[in-house]
Chains A and B, each alone.
Chain A
């Protein structure tokens, strides 16, 4: 045994994903503590009510079960997490159980004292929603006057505590033209950012938020923007430095892992090594895949995670076996999401319009001549068949009439 043998080589994250996918270990969990919120964002997929949130004791029990199950990455989100009066109790327990803790917040309620508490509880990352650098645009989306100013004021408070801050900007009709401003703002503050094109129906299936979604044709300028490569996760300066200092050893920047090739033929991480827990204790494969696998008030996490039929079915899905998409010639340009396939196309295994349109647009931008998805190819074939049948019927009818 030597020191160099005792420590692993990079890339650590890929190995971590491979191992946890193979074992179905819930490496990463997104836990919404509340759906209540102090903003009313026009595109939000949640209602803002309390239908019986888990109590403090129940939340602590859940995260103890997650620790036993082997979860490392724990993201607390909402709603607005600072509306939970017991947030610090929950964070303290998460810290005690050695989770890697991330938060998602609108940061309206962040004060110097609260930022300091977050550091004390070992929070590593805070993701903050920013819709525009223009107050009128941002505030019109959140429906809270002055919200951009308050959100931006919180960022230095968090950075001063050494927390990593990331800006998240969901793009919709209301802020499409403002995305460059958010990118510039992030660069000016010196934090990473992500632009997100995903606007989903509400958890109950209400399609209201989709009215805010940008048509694929209007996304061309965004998709062509060379600056967008900067949206890829980048290691922090400290992490990059640490990796230089220990080139052959154990350091590796923590990434989201979402793009890892370790997922191979799996559609995504949902149900394989990640899941979502609602404020009411419902366990879902993902926040975007509304098929509850069980409730933590009635069953233990491990019973749900390892035995729920919904999760077992999901684990059997392979991209290469999808009935339509596996035949698609532009599959490599597609970012198909099983949850959106279910919500928008009604079939977890199926193709859906938005993904096909986006894939075609990307393929076109990459130089593919007249790209067409398998779904659209099928639709064209059916249309032609119907036309031929109609024409034949007309000919027969016409010949009969003479």
Chain B
């Protein structure tokens, strides 16, 4: 699965979650599976707000973790894809964008 630039991301509203130390623990009430994100994943999780696209999230990541924009975008897209597969995040049409 690839992340279209015109898609923004939001947390699945059905989930329970908390930040604990540098990690984020997420529980899906529908299947009782517990997920854990490390500090980088938690950073992205915190910034997934229903408005930002993968590129915008990668920009924040590159700035905070001092990695190149290309690396940040690759990692961000990979993580979003995995979280999407696990139904932790859901894509929504970005404001003003389209979903071709």
- A residues engaging B (CB < 8 A)? 1-3, 5-8, 12-13, 15-16, 19-20, 23, 25, 27, 70-72, 98-101, 122-125, 162, 164, 235-236, 238-239, 241-243, 246, 249-254
In the complex the two chains form, what is the Cα distance from A123 to B16 in whole Å?
10
List CB contacts (< 8 Å) of B25-71 with chain A: 25, 27, 29-38, 40-41, 44, 61, 65, 67, 71
The answer to whether B38 and A7 have CB atoms under 8 Å apart is yes
The answer to whether B79 and A72 have CB atoms under 8 Å apart is no
Collect the chain A residues with CB atoms within 8 Å of residue B40's CB: 1, 5-6
In the complex the two chains form, what is the Cα distance from A369 to B81 in whole Å?
59
The answer to whether A12 and B16 have CB atoms under 8 Å apart is no
Could you list 23 A-B pairs, sorted by A, with CB under 8 Å?
A: A1-B71, A3-B75, A7-B38, A8-B36, A12-B34, A12-B35, A16-B25, A19-B23, A20-B20, A70-B18, A72-B16, A72-B20, A72-B25, A72-B27, A122-B14, A241-B31, A242-B31, A242-B33, A246-B86, A250-B86, A253-B34, A254-B27, A254-B32
Asked whether any CB of chain A lies closer than 8 Å to the CB of B82, the reply is yes
Q: Is the interface of A mostly helix, strand, loop or mixed?
A: mixed
Collect the chain A residues with CB atoms within 8 Å of residue B33's CB: 238-239, 242-243, 251-254
Asked whether any CB of chain A lies closer than 8 Å to the CB of B90, the reply is no
How many whole Å from A21's CB to the nearest CB in chain B? 11
In the complex, the number of residue pairs spanning A and B with C-beta atoms less than 8 Å apart equals 116
Asked whether any CB of chain A lies closer than 8 Å to the CB of B92, the reply is no
Collect the chain B residues with CB atoms within 8 Å of residue A100's CB: 16, 27, 29
Which residue of A13, A20, A122 contacts B34 across the interface (Cβ within 8 Å)? A13
Q: Is the interface of B mostly helix, strand, loop or mixed?
A: mixed
Collect the chain B residues with CB atoms within 8 Å of residue A20's CB: 20
Collect the chain B residues with CB atoms within 8 Å of residue A124's CB: 16, 27, 29, 32
How many whole Å from B34's CB to the nearest CB in chain A? 5
Beyond A1-B75, A98-B16, A98-B17, is A250–B37 a contact (Cβ under 8 Å)? yes
Which residue of A3, A15, A235, A239 contacts B82 across the interface (Cβ within 8 Å)? A3
Collect the chain B residues with CB atoms within 8 Å of residue A27's CB: 20
In the complex formed, the residue of B with least CB distance to A125 is B32
- Most chain B CB inside 10 Å of its own CB: which residue of A6, A13, A123, A250: A6
In the complex the two chains form, what is the Cα distance from A252 to B15 in whole Å?
15
The answer to whether B30 and A162 have CB atoms under 8 Å apart is yes
Which residue of A72, A123, A250 contacts B29 across the interface (Cβ within 8 Å)? A123
Which residue of B21, B30, B65, B86 contacts A238 across the interface (Cβ within 8 Å)? B30
- Most chain A CB inside 10 Å of its own CB: which residue of B30, B33, B65: B33
The answer to whether A235 and B38 have CB atoms under 8 Å apart is no
Collect the chain A residues with CB atoms within 8 Å of residue B18's CB: 70-72, 98
The answer to whether B31 and A236 have CB atoms under 8 Å apart is yes
Collect the chain B residues with CB atoms within 8 Å of residue A12's CB: 25, 34-36
Given A6-B41, A12-B25, A250-B36, 17 new contacts (CB under 8 A): A1-B65, A5-B40, A6-B40, A7-B37, A7-B82, A8-B36, A15-B23, A70-B20, A71-B18, A124-B29, A236-B31, A238-B30, A239-B31, A250-B86, A251-B86, A253-B32, A254-B32
Asked whether any CB of chain A lies closer than 8 Å to the CB of B94, the reply is no
In the complex the two chains form, what is the Cα distance from A253 to B65 in whole Å?
31
In the complex formed, the residue of A with least CB distance to B29 is A124
In the complex the two chains form, what is the Cα distance from A1 to B67 in whole Å?
9
Collect the chain A residues with CB atoms within 8 Å of residue B75's CB: 1-3, 6
How many whole Å from A254's CB to the nearest CB in chain B? 5
How many whole Å from A161's CB to the nearest CB in chain B? 10
The answer to whether A122 and B29 have CB atoms under 8 Å apart is yes
Collect the chain A residues with CB atoms within 8 Å of residue B20's CB: 16, 19-20, 25, 27, 70, 72
List CB contacts (< 8 Å) of B68-90 with chain A: 71-72, 75, 78-79, 81-82, 86
In the complex the two chains form, what is the Cα distance from A100 to B71 in whole Å?
34
Collect the chain B residues with CB atoms within 8 Å of residue A250's CB: 35-37, 86
Collect the chain B residues with CB atoms within 8 Å of residue A3's CB: 75, 78-79, 81-82
The answer to whether A7 and B27 have CB atoms under 8 Å apart is no
The answer to whether B34 and A236 have CB atoms under 8 Å apart is no
In the complex formed, the residue of B with least CB distance to A16 is B25
Beyond A1-B67, A246-B86, is A19–B15 a contact (Cβ under 8 Å)? no
In the complex formed, the residue of A with least CB distance to B15 is A98
Collect the chain A residues with CB atoms within 8 Å of residue B32's CB: 124-125, 164, 235-236, 238-239, 253-254
